[in-house]
Amino acid sequence: MENRAKHLVFLGCGLLCAAASVFAVASAPSAAEGPQAGQSAPATGAPTAGAPGAAAPAASAPNFPVASGARLAGDDKQTRFILDLDRKIEFRAFPLADPYRVVVDIPQVNFQLAAGTGSAARGLVKAFRYGLVMPGGSRIVFDMTGPVKIANSYVLDAANGQPPRLVLDFEQVDRTSFVQSLAPESRPELKPAISESTTATIPAVTTAALPPVATTDARPLIVIDPGHGGIDNGTQSGDQTEKNLVLGFGLALRDRIEKSGKYRVVMTRSDDTFIPLNDRVKIARSQSAALFVSIHADALPRREGDAQGATIYTVSDKASDAEAERLAEAENKADAIAGVNLTDEPTEVADILIDLAQRETKTFSNRFARLLMDEMKTTVRMHKHPLKSAGFRVLKAPDVPSVLVEIGYVSNKGDLEHLVSENWRNKAVGSMVQAIDTFFAKRLATAGPAK
């Protein structure tokens, strides 16, 4: 992906998307009415899972506001953004630093914008993205050329043949006044800001909202983590996006694992929703997962050659090679792409017990990675160096063995043909399940007889 900046380390933040996504199914009827001004939250923490009509996913609800056009005007002193809508909506806009961005949180909107919208630079805006960040909440993220202030922002009624419009005016400012505008009291919350008025009662930690784990079920729990989602497309080739390819793969893997009956499976996402990196880790930890498998599909810029095949990554402080480092940097940028404010993350706890747990976890992660490579190489094409390591944030649960599999390169023609082929996917998924079986058979043997 082209937006690779210098910032290597993003400390995470606790967005509420994972918590909210759990409610996506349960709260579809109220979500369909739209989290508009003054309405109570669709997700209040109430156990609504058994509610009638709970089956319809929020994404298929038809009654969201529709955005039919978006454009930029102006120059590099003042730039205006206009979004055409079919009705007025609530919004909240705020700037973020490092990199300079402006985030606009709005209720869930059905974006019907022309392909390529947002990719062209104009004035103070390098590019912008839009999409779902949580059920009931959409977001627009602008990459800015430098520090800006939001000089004006408002929603206009339909008038003079024009539809209702969201209008934002950006003005160039210097870094000092920009930083002042980010003073702590004015600093936005870490969660999508529009949710403050609409979903304020979502519990702050995802654990409470996750599907209840049947405590009597002693089967190992596997977390499958399809990368990216919602506003974050991941890598792209034509109209194939990484977020869709890896979701399809993850769901197929889930189905196959569940069919075996030997394991429980939790998905970090099972639809097109953005989940912050830390929340993915939290899901694994809060469920005491026995294994975490993150699924991605890499891409190389054309000038950097034409790599191919699947690669299996484990976490390490020092990347095993330059490509692994580049990739971890790109993957760790997911939160920045989605406009998550990364400034307030508490520093990680330095604790000897965590350190010990980490060492054991690393051993298991490496063991699973090797088993996975041995199985996958019998059925799918592997990268010429198929085992690598780097500082992937999503692999940092100290107590859950974790691997990240780049199932192929969307930038490689042959790989892309595989990635969209159901036959290829079945073979790859089969190998993964085989590796999972071997891994747990060995773990149980090491831990002693179960009965």
Q: Which residues bind Zn ion (CB under 5 A)?
A: 227, 234, 296, 331
Of 84 and 298, nearer to Zn ion (C-beta) is 298
Helix (H) or strand (E) holding 19, with range, is helix 17-26
Burial class (CB in 10 A: 0-12, 13-18, 19+), 11: middle
Of 232 and 375, nearer to Zn ion (C-beta) is 232
Distance separating the N- and C-terminal Cα atoms of the chain: 50
Report CA dihedral (319, 404, 393, 263) to the nearest 10 degrees: -140
**Residue whose pair of structure tokens reads 């793969």 in the numeric block:** 249
Of 227 and 401, nearer to Zn ion (C-beta) is 227
Instruction: Tell which phi-psi region holds residue 378, choosing left (phi > 0), alpha (psi between -120 and 50) or beta.
Output: alpha
**Cβ at position 38, least distance to Zn ion in Å:** 38
**Cβ at position 405, least distance to Zn ion in Å:** 10
Count Cα atoms within 13 angstroms, Cβ side, for 116.
Answer: 3
Measured between alpha carbons, how far is 25 from 40 in angstroms, rounded to an integer? 17
Cβ neighbors of 56 (< 8 A, separation 6 or more) are 25, 28, 29, 32
**Cβ at position 392, least distance to Zn ion in Å:** 10
β-strand 221-226 against 264-267: which pairing, if any? parallel
Measured between alpha carbons, how far is 243 from 274 in angstroms, rounded to an integer? 10
Of 137 and 227, nearer to Zn ion (C-beta) is 227
**Cβ at position 228, least distance to Zn ion in Å:** 6
**Cβ at position 58, least distance to Zn ion in Å:** 24
Burial class (CB in 10 A: 0-12, 13-18, 19+), 350: exposed
Measured between alpha carbons, how far is 191 from 103 in angstroms, rounded to an integer? 11
Of 192 and 234, nearer to Zn ion (C-beta) is 234
Is-contact 242 1, C-beta < 8 A? no
**Cβ at position 298, least distance to Zn ion in Å:** 7
Bridge partners (DSSP) of residue 311 are: 406
Of 103 and 247, nearer to Zn ion (C-beta) is 247
Of 244 and 431, nearer to Zn ion (C-beta) is 244
**Cβ at position 32, least distance to Zn ion in Å:** 31
Residue nearest to Zn ion (CB): 296
**Cβ at position 269, least distance to Zn ion in Å:** 13
Of 118 and 234, nearer to Zn ion (C-beta) is 234
Measured between alpha carbons, how far is 236 from 227 in angstroms, rounded to an integer? 13
